[in-house]
Amino acid sequence: KAGVTQTPRYLIKTRGQQVTLSCSPISGHRSVSWYQQTPGQGLQFLFEYFSETQRNKGNFPGRFSGRQFSNSRSEMNVSTLELGDSALYLCASRPDGGPPYNEQFFGPGTRLTVL
Amino acid sequence: AQSVTQLGSHVSVSEGALVLLRCNYSSSVPPYLFWYVQYPNQGLQLLLKYTSAATLVKGINGFEAEFKKSETSFHLTKPSAHMSDAAEYFCAVSTGGFKTIFGAGTRLFVKA
């Protein structure tokens, strides 16, 4: 099976712009989670989608949003970019809706740089 | 609320020496615990997980971890470090919900 894929791998934007990142989970996985990874804050949970519904949300401002399509592919959007949004954004998929001890399979990430 | 604390942001060992990466968790309910590894420019990969079946868990690449409820710990060990073990390691906890909380990570350096 192909792993989790994320596109693009690298992205450079300027402050005030918006950006959309894409994630394709492993075939058959219906749960997709997004994380922000920065040197200062580590791995921060953004949100999780399962069967096109947001099931969990982290403590990020409303500028961060996401969605999931019927084929389980997911996108996250960040509007009005700030310098502090520069980070590695990781997507992870899980085999099904539960149980919570199911491991997550991570993609390679999208490196976003905001200038 | 659940939380994870990894002691030591950086750990340095010599090749062939014991690797010990420390993780303590806080959870009001029985937790599920994980160790992930991240190599440069890659995503995270599962090393091992604790799901209450056995307190000593063996993972990939010779790593293992022991769940100690009385100490709320889940330390990761490997008897003999290899240069290829140099990476960042994350401890994580999940409970009844579907949110996984990650520790801040420990970067392991292996000296020749």
Q: Which residues of chain A have a CB within 8 Å of the CB of B29?
A: none
Question: Across A34-48, A74-88, B42-56, which has the greatest mean pLDDT?
Answer: A74-88
Minimal CA–CA distance to B18: which of B71, B62, B66? B62
* Percent of chain A whose pLDDT exceeds 70: 95
**Given an 8 Å threshold on Cβ–Cβ distance, is A100 in contact with B32?**
yes
Contact between B63 and B47 (Cβ < 8 Å): yes
DSSP states of B31-93? -EEEEEEE-TTS-EEEEEEE-SS-SEEE-GGG-EEEEEGGGTEEEEEESS--GGG-EEEEEEE
Q: What is residue A97's predicted lDDT score, i.e. its pLDDT?
A: 59
Residue A98 has pLDDT above 90, yes or no: no
Q: Which of A33, A103, A109 sits opposite B46 (nearest CB)?
A: A103
Q: Which of A100, A105, A109 sits opposite B94 (nearest CB)?
A: A100
Distance CA A10, CA B59 (A): 32
User: How far off is chain A from B72, nearest CA to CA, in Å?
Assistant: 18
**Given an 8 Å threshold on Cβ–Cβ distance, is B104 in contact with A109?**
no
Residue A112 has pLDDT above 80, yes or no: yes
Interfacial residues of B (vs A; Cβ cutoff 8 Å): 32, 34, 36, 41-46, 49, 51, 90, 94-105
Q: What is residue B96's predicted lDDT score, i.e. its pLDDT?
A: 64
Q: What is residue A42's predicted lDDT score, i.e. its pLDDT?
A: 87
Distance CA A20, CA A5 (A): 15
Least CA distance to B104: which residue of chain A?
A: A42
| Alpha carbon of residue A113 to chain centroid | 15
Q: What is residue B31's predicted lDDT score, i.e. its pLDDT?
A: 83
Residue A80 has pLDDT above 70, yes or no: yes
Q: What is residue B78's predicted lDDT score, i.e. its pLDDT?
A: 98
User: How far off is chain B from A59, nearest CA to CA, in Å?
Assistant: 12
In chain A, which ranges are continuous DSSP H helix? none
Q: What is residue A75's predicted lDDT score, i.e. its pLDDT?
A: 98
Preceding peptide of B79 cis, ω within 30°: no
Q: What is residue A100's predicted lDDT score, i.e. its pLDDT?
A: 62
Rounded alpha-carbon distances, angstroms, from residue B99 to A55, B92, B93: 9, 10, 9
User: How far off is chain A from B112, nearest CA to CA, in Å?
Assistant: 26
Distance CA B44, CA A108 (A): 8
Q: What is residue A99's predicted lDDT score, i.e. its pLDDT?
A: 65
Contact between A3 and A104 (Cβ < 8 Å): no
Average confidence (pLDDT) per 10 residues, chain B, 112 residues: 89 97 88 92 91 88 94 96 96 79 94 95
**Given an 8 Å threshold on Cβ–Cβ distance, is A50 in contact with B99?**
no
Q: Which residues of chain A have a CB within 8 Å of the CB of B34?
A: 103
Q: What is residue A41's predicted lDDT score, i.e. its pLDDT?
A: 85
Least CA distance to A97: which residue of chain B?
A: B98
